[in-house]
Structure 1
Amino acid sequence: MDLHSAIKETQCAIDLVLNNKFSEALDLLQPWRRDSMYHALGYSTIRVMMANDHGELQVAMATLNDALDTCQRFRKTHSIFGSLFSIVFKQLNPQEEEMHAEICYAECLLLKAVLTFHDENVISLIKGGLNIRRSYGIFQDCQKVMNSSEDKVSSSDLFRQFEGGVKLGIGSFNLMLSLLPHRILRLLAFIGYSGNRDFGLSQLREVASSCTLRSELGTLTLLLYHTYTNLIMGTGEVDVAGADALLEPLHQKYPNSSMSLFFSARISALKGNFEKAMSGYEECIGSQQELIQIHHMCYWELMWCRSYQQNWTQAYRYADLLCKESKMSKAMHVYQKAAILSMMSEDEVAETGENLVELFRQVEGLKQCVAGKSIPAEKFAIRKSRRYNATKPVRLVIPALEIMYMWNSFDILGKRADFTEALLVTVEKAEETLCSDPDPSEFHADDSCLVQMLKGVCLKHLDRLPQAELCFTQVLSSEHRIRYDHYLVPFTLFELSLLCKQRGDVTEATAHMEKAKGKYKHYSMEDRLHFRIHACNAQQPQVNESPASTPPSSGYF
């Protein structure tokens, strides 16, 4: 199996995967996976994609270890004499097979790091971090080789394939690191990490537009960034047109691919066309039955589309499917199901046969860890559900809308004024209920502030800025009365900052943003807010691209 044939056969496997033929792709790659680096990489990658429980994750880890061994046999050997010879004569001229082995090895290390983080211990965290560091270092070395190669070498097809791997790795690392807040990047800069979002995006675009083995993976990485990462960890401003342009050639080449169908539905949802999106997700579910994770992602999206419509019965249906089928973040799935049930009438809850109090009480016992650390969203769900552990449980107020806000879904919902108005009515009903409560609980002030913040967010998306500002100001003036949900104040300051920016008052917007960033610590979902604040800062062109440099404090807008 020579390198040309290996790449060609792995491309056939990618085509099979994107045509929903996952088992056929594995059968194609399996015979050569211990003798060909590309077969080994492709086979282990598909195994990782299809892993849905602990047993399958262990099988995927074993295939990755085998893949690393296979790649290692093709890597350049570094004897003491050879290393000295290279230093003296400044030679950096690996053979093509060795160059490809480095890229494949780095990609396998990165996949192994991702799987390692599922183990709940500190040693796994250290191992995963070291593997990421090694992977990044190999990509950087390969980038030097790519940049130093002569034109006659770079014109070969094998070199273009190598170049695609380098750009995918370097682009992904730069994009990923650019999302991190500056306080983290300053620390990472000391061990050689740096991230530039524009450079990362340009590298990934070059891969996506190339006719190489990794072009489809470059496209999917960009689609994931535009349709998810940039929304959840950013300001909510999504480049829908850019995502559409990326998806078009992929959809034409693989019209029935579950992945292209999924992203097509996601883009429809981002445009506010929830009806078309739901139809697309249902089509995606029916397109294949092997990659169950795609089904779970569709259930998640269908749950939210129904929640935007306040069709809580149908939203519950998909939340229940996630609880029964998905092995990931069971605590969050159970909490979301209970939160959706909380939006329904007592008769509707009774029809489901669910015990709302017992559901909330299950949440804490389902907690999972990644790399030995609790998942922030699960910690938030556990704190909220503890209200039901008391002898006399205190009902949560509009918890489904609170979770919707945490996932930045109001920026999607805001595309539809009719749905936003309907949601505002629900919030105002909750406000009336709290105001007329004859026996306020110890959570009354927290609940009132939550309702005011969500009311302000709805009004902001409806361009009723003066009314929205009054709601936000009311939360800030009640800060001393909040006993448990301390996240409400910094998040409200962030929303008020965006409102000020919307009406053109940049100075006041910056002041609120600085206060949200610097004054408050150790509250729920703190990292998520810092990611969003960092994204606001990243909207401004940076004078110095070094992550170690301190950004100007007034650079948010």
Structure 2
Amino acid sequence: MDLQTAIQETQCALNLVLNNKFSQALDLLKPWWKDSMYHALGYSSILVMQATMTFEQRDIQAAMATIKETLQTCQRFRKRNSVVGSLSSLISKQTNLQEEEMHAELCYAECLLQKATLTFVQDENMISFIKGGIKIRTSYQIYKDCQNLLSTAQGVTEQSDLFRQFEGGVKLGIGSFNLTFDVIGFVLLCSHPGFDFGCFSGCISSGIHHSLLLGSYYFSEGKSGKGLNLFIGNVKLIVHVKTAETFLDFSEHVCFPEHPIIVRPFWSQTCLFRFLPSCHCGVLQARARYEECISSQQEWKQIHHLCYWELMWNHSFQQEWQQAYRYADLLCRESRWSKAIYVYQKAAILSMMSAEELERTGEDLGALFRSVEGLKQRLAGKSIPMEKFAVRKSRRYKASNPVPLVIPALEMMYVWNGFSIVGKRADLTESLLVTIERVEQQLQNDPNPTEYHPDDSCLVQMLKGLCLKYLGRFLQAELCFSQVLSSEGRIRYDHYLVPFTLYELGLLQKQQGDFIKATTYIERAKMNYKDYSMESRLHFRIHAALNSLKGSPVSTP
């Protein structure tokens, strides 16, 4: 099979994936996957995607065996001598064999990235983490060599379609590496909060820059047959921006450039494109998009789980706890990603219901909270910070006389950056404020306060301050945050509340234009506190906030 035909057939398989025909895509690629580098790359990519979504050992093992075969297939097309030597000689002569060698380097580098991903998923210990890091480094070096080749070929006016495909692949690879490097950096920070993360600050903007270069490149200018790299680049871009906005709260500090998403007619029905842009819709509009995504295909149920998670939050934002419970329960029963978080989230939602509503569900709230600790996992030899947080909060139900959590679903809403979404709707924010003030009144009237009373009161004040901030009632918000800070000495368990409140108080001052006070509060949160829950997550947010306060976005290194 010639190289051009291989790329075209792989594009056809990708189109089948975009039309939710996953099995047909594999059937198209399978006959050639041991003889053609692009067929092999496409075949392994689909299996790797499936394995990372299911977390089933049989899927992981099948994908790992396939990726090893794919590397061998790509290796047969690579130059025997060093990478630099094999590529630098291709400028003067552009034969098919030389072009195959160029594309073989790209396919081999992409396969190494996929194998690194599987290495992390297959065995969650530090040795696997190091092995995966070595594969990523090797992949990056290949992409850099390919990039050097492009820089030396800029003066060549007549370039074949295959060379332009190669150019797009290089840009996609460099962007993918920067985004992958950012994720690895975040994992390191989760394991080692004291790690210097200044070196990671530009990876997001650098990766997006390269993805945008790809999106505005040759493929988007009427050459409709060259969309292989374009689609992959856009999907990676959307996924990463969504992750950063949802989990790291970069949206307030990093100015993501506008990115034109090129959606062809046959892409519009794919479950991926129905799911990904929904984060930018209104609450009700997003709900319809997620439901359409679920109904659009039944082959890969794991994509449904992404939608269940979003629908759970969508209903939680509107305090529709019965509907939110439905999706939380589905995640607990069907998804393998993080049982501890799913069970805790489900229990937190049940905690928001009335006694009658809870009884109708037939759930044992205490038993759910007590089961969380036994579901905890480890990644690279370390516990996952969010699971550690869920386990610690659940321990209030392990005692002989359990003390119920107060508004735990709203606390988790804050942890997952939900208040920044609700804050765009004044009616939803007002509704949350009513719920919070009702709990505040109950705590104030409690005749027998427990040892957790100061912690619960501070949590309520912090969340109340957030609602008031988004409603534009800045003075009242500042009073709530100040009340948390003045109660610092009485907090016994939820020590994370003080540094997070300082951070929020800093953002409040920034919103009012007082950058000096804002920097002071955020620096206090950074320098004066350590060893509290979700410390790494806050440090990431602090780093982004301080960069924005300097008057410039996070820069590319």
TM-score normalized with structure 1 length:
0.90
Cα–Cα, structure 1 residues 536 and 172, in superposed 2: closer, same or farther, change >3 Å?
Answer: farther
Tell me, in whole angstroms, the C-alpha distance in 2 between the residues paired with 1:460 and 1:320.
33
The question of whether the paired residues in 2 share the 8 Å contact of 1:319 and 1:333 is answered with yes
Give the residue type in structure 1 aligned to 2:9.
E
The question of whether the paired residues in 2 share the 8 Å contact of 1:109 and 1:132 is answered with yes
The question of whether the paired residues in 2 share the 8 Å contact of 1:231 and 1:237 is answered with no
* Displacement of 1:4: 0.8
Cα–Cα, structure 1 residues 428 and 18, in superposed 2: closer, same or farther, change >3 Å?
Answer: same
- Per the alignment, residue 331 of structure 2 pairs with 322
The question of whether the paired residues in 1 share the 8 Å contact of 2:18 and 2:272 is answered with yes
Q: What are the within-5 Å matches in structure 2 for residues 307-456 of structure 1? A: 307-456=316-465
Cα–Cα, structure 1 residues 333 and 251, in superposed 2: closer, same or farther, change >3 Å?
Answer: farther
Instruction: Say if 2:241 is the partner of 1:246.
Output: no
- Per the alignment, residue 124 of structure 1 pairs with 128
Tell me, in whole angstroms, the C-alpha distance in 2 between the residues paired with 1:415 and 1:474.
25
Q: What are the within-5 Å matches in structure 2 for residues 142-181 of structure 1? A: 142-152=146-156, 155-175=159-179, 177=181
Q: Could you tell me which of 469, 492, 509 is aligned with 2:501?
A: 492
* Displacement of 1:477: 0.8
- Per the alignment, residue 141 of structure 1 pairs with 145
The question of whether the paired residues in 1 share the 8 Å contact of 2:340 and 2:387 is answered with yes
Instruction: Say if 2:237 is the partner of 1:222.
Output: yes
The question of whether the paired residues in 2 share the 8 Å contact of 1:227 and 1:238 is answered with no
* Displacement of 1:234: 3.0
Q: Could you tell me which of 208, 219, 225 is aligned with 2:215?
A: 208
* Displacement of 1:535: 2.0
- Per the alignment, residue 113 of structure 1 pairs with 116
- Per the alignment, residue 554 of structure 1 pairs with none
The question of whether the paired residues in 2 share the 8 Å contact of 1:13 and 1:25 is answered with yes
* Paired positions, count: 533
- Per the alignment, residue 25 of structure 1 pairs with 25
* Displacement of 1:229: 1.7
The question of whether the paired residues in 2 share the 8 Å contact of 1:174 and 1:194 is answered with no
Tell me, in whole angstroms, the C-alpha distance in 1 between the residues paired with 2:198 and 2:153.
29
Tell me, in whole angstroms, the C-alpha distance in 2 between the residues paired with 1:139 and 1:373.
31
Tell me, in whole angstroms, the C-alpha distance in 2 between the residues paired with 1:544 and 1:291.
37
Instruction: Say if 2:44 is the partner of 1:44.
Output: yes
- Per the alignment, residue 65 of structure 1 pairs with 68
The question of whether the paired residues in 2 share the 8 Å contact of 1:146 and 1:163 is answered with yes
Structure 2, unmatched stretches of 5+, are 92-96, 220-225
For 1:365-403, what per-residue CA distance to the aligned partner results, in whole angstroms no more than 9, with x for missing partners? Answer: 111222222211111111111111111111011000111
* Displacement of 1:476: 0.7
Cα–Cα, structure 1 residues 282 and 239, in superposed 2: closer, same or farther, change >3 Å?
Answer: farther
* Displacement of 1:500: 0.1
RMSD of Structure 2 on Structure 1 (CA): 2.7
The question of whether the paired residues in 2 share the 8 Å contact of 1:207 and 1:218 is answered with yes
Q: Secondary structure at the match of 2:101?
A: helix
Cα–Cα, structure 1 residues 239 and 513, in superposed 2: closer, same or farther, change >3 Å?
Answer: closer
For 1:454-498, what per-residue CA distance to the aligned partner results, in whole angstroms no more than 9, with x for missing partners? Answer: 000111111110000001001111111111111111110110000
- Per the alignment, residue 57 of structure 2 pairs with 54
Give the residue type in structure 1 aligned to 2:543.
H
The question of whether the paired residues in 1 share the 8 Å contact of 2:519 and 2:546 is answered with no
Tell me, in whole angstroms, the C-alpha distance in 2 between the residues paired with 1:451 and 1:132.
44
* Displacement of 1:230: 2.9
- Per the alignment, residue 525 of structure 1 pairs with 534
For 1:339-365, what per-residue CA distance to the aligned partner results, in whole angstroms no more than 9, with x for missing partners? Answer: 000000111111111100000111111
Cα–Cα, structure 1 residues 288 and 538, in superposed 2: closer, same or farther, change >3 Å?
Answer: farther
Structure 1, unmatched stretches of 5+, are 548-557
Give the residue type in structure 2 aligned to 1:43.
Y
Tell me, in whole angstroms, the C-alpha distance in 2 between the residues paired with 1:522 and 1:17.
45
For 1:216-236, what per-residue CA distance to the aligned partner results, in whole angstroms no more than 9, with x for missing partners? Answer: 011112212333323421333
Tell me, in whole angstroms, the C-alpha distance in 2 between the residues paired with 1:196 and 1:120.
24
Instruction: Say if 2:275 is the partner of 1:262.
Output: yes
Give the residue type in structure 2 aligned to 1:255.
S
Give the residue type in structure 1 aligned to 2:268.
P
The question of whether the paired residues in 2 share the 8 Å contact of 1:230 and 1:238 is answered with no
TM-score normalized with structure 2 length:
0.90
Q: What are the within-5 Å matches in structure 2 for residues 188-203 of structure 1? A: 195-203=202-210
* Displacement of 1:259: 1.1
Cα–Cα, structure 1 residues 186 and 449, in superposed 2: closer, same or farther, change >3 Å?
Answer: closer
Q: Secondary structure at the match of 2:532?
A: coil
The question of whether the paired residues in 2 share the 8 Å contact of 1:176 and 1:195 is answered with no
